[in-house]
Chains A and B, each alone.
Chain A
Amino acid sequence: MSKIRYSRRSLLKTGGAAIAAAALPAPMVWGQESKNITLRQFGTGVSNLNEVATKVKEDLGITLEMTALDTDSVTQRAATQPDSFDIADIEYFVCKKVWPTGNLQAMDASRIANYDQIVGIFRDGKLTPESEIAQGTAPHTVGFVDGPDGTEFVDNESGWMTLIPTIYNADTLGIRPDLINRPINNWSELLNPEFAGKASILDISSIGIMDMAMVVESMGEMTYGDKGNMTREEIDKTFEIFTEAKKNGQFRAFWKTFDESVNLMASGEVVIQSMWSPAITAVKSRGIPCVYQPLEEGYRSWGGGIGLSASLSGMELDAAYEYINWYLSGWVGGFLMRQGYYSAVPATSKDFMSENEWGYWFEGKEATDTITSPFGDPLAQAGEVRDGGDFYSRMGSVACWNSVMDENQYMVRKWNEFIAA
Chain B
Amino acid sequence: MSKQITAWLQAAPIGFVLLAFLVAPIVMIVIVSFWGATEYSIYPAFQFDNYEFLFGSPVTYTVFFNTFKYAFITWAFTLVIGFTVAYFLAFEVRSLKWQVALFLLCTIPFWTSNIIRMISWIPFLGRNGLANSTLMSWGVIDEPLEWLLFSDFSVILAFVHLYTLFMVVPIFNSMMRIDRSLIEAARDNGANGWQTLRHVIIPLCKPGIMIGTIFVTTLVMGDFITVRFMSGSQRANVGRLISNDINLLQYPSASATAVVLLVTVLIVIALFLRLVDIRKEL
Q: State how many residues of chain A have any CB contact under 8 Å with chain B.
A: 38
Contact with B along A388-421 (1 / 0, CB 8 A): 0000000000000000100011001101110111
Q: Is B233 an interface residue (CB 8 A)?
A: yes
A109 CB, nearest partner CB in chain B, Å: 25
A255 and B39 in contact (CB under 8 A), knowing A73-B247, A420-B62?
no
Nearest residue in A to B236 (C-beta to C-beta)? A420
Task: Verify if A153 is at the interface (C-beta below 8 Å from B).
Answer: no
Number of B residues with CB within 8 Å of any CB on chain A:
35
Asked whether any CB of chain A lies closer than 8 Å to the CB of B55, the reply is: no
> A98 to B236, Cβ gap below 8 A?
no
At the interface, yes or no: A205 with Cβ under 8 Å from chain B? yes
- Starting from the known contacts A101-B41, A251-B234, 9 additional A-B residue pairs (CB-CB under 8 Å) come to A76-B247, A79-B40, A101-B40, A200-B232, A203-B233, A404-B39, A416-B59, A416-B245, A420-B59
Contacting pair B63 A420 (CB below 8 A) = yes
Contact B128 A246 (CB under 8 A): no
Interface contact A419-B53, CB-CB below 8 Å: no
In the bound complex, what is the Cα–Cα distance between A238 and B249 (angstroms)?
23
- Find residues 63-92 in chain A having any chain B CB closer than 8 Å to their own CB: 72-73, 75-76, 79-80
Asked if A269 CB lies within 8 Å of chain B CBs, one says: yes
CB < 8 Å neighbour of A419 from B41, B240, B245: B240
Among the listed B39, B59, B129, B244, which residue makes an inter-chain contact with A97, where contact means beta carbons less than 8 Å apart?
B39
Give the interface of B toward A (CB within 8 A): 39-41, 53, 57-59, 62-63, 66, 122-123, 126-129, 146, 149-150, 228, 231-236, 240-241, 244-250
- Residue A115 CB within 8 A of the other chain: no
Chain A residues with CB under 8 Å of chain B are 72-73, 75-76, 79-80, 96-98, 100-101, 197, 200, 203, 205, 246, 251-256, 263-264, 267-269, 404, 408-409, 412-413, 415-417, 419-421
- Name the A residues within 8 Å of B231 (CB-CB): 253
Question: Contacts A267-B123, A267-B126 given: A246-B234 contact, CB under 8 Å?
Answer: yes
- How many whole Å from A178's CB to the nearest CB in chain B? 13
* Interchain CB contact under 8 A, B233 and A256: yes
Q: Mostly helix, strand, loop or mixed at chain B's interface?
A: loop
Ranked 9 nearest A-B pairs via Cβ: A253-B232, A254-B233, A72-B247, A420-B236, A203-B233, A97-B40, A417-B59, A253-B150, A420-B59
For the complex, give the distance between the alpha carbons of A197 and B232 in Å. Answer: 12
For B146, what are the chain A residues with a Cβ–Cβ distance below 8 Å? 197
Name the distance in Å between A95's Cβ and chain B's nearest Cβ: 10
23 pairs from A and B in contact (CB 8 Å cutoff): A72-B247, A73-B247, A76-B249, A97-B40, A100-B41, A101-B41, A205-B248, A246-B234, A253-B234, A256-B233, A267-B123, A267-B127, A267-B128, A269-B126, A269-B149, A409-B39, A412-B248, A413-B57, A416-B245, A417-B59, A419-B233, A420-B62, A420-B240
CB distance from A336 to the nearest CB of B (A): 26
Q: Give the complex CA separation of A251 and B234 in angstroms.
A: 8
Interface centre among A72, A96, A269, A415 (most CB of B within 10 A): A269
A264 to B127, CA, bound (A): 10
B127 contact set on A, CB distance < 8 A: 267-269
The answer for the CA separation of A205 and B250 in the assembled complex, in Å, is: 13
Q: Nearest residue in A to B231 (C-beta to C-beta)?
A: A253
In the complex, are the beta carbons of B126 and A416 less than 8 A apart? no
Q: Enumerate chain A residues within 8 angstroms of B126, measured Cβ to Cβ.
A: 267, 269
Q: Hey, which chain B residues are within 8 Å of A419, CB to CB? A: 233-234, 236, 240, 244
> Which B residues are CB-close (under 8 A) to A256?
228, 233
Contact of B233 among A101, A253, A404, A412 (CB under 8 A): A253
Find the B residue at minimum CB distance from A76. B249
Partner of A254, one of B39, B149, B232: B232
- B57 cross-chain contacts in A, Cβ below 8 A: 413, 417
Q: Is the CB of A252 within 8 A of B232?
A: yes
- B39, B122, B146, B231 — most chain A CB neighbours (10 Å): B39
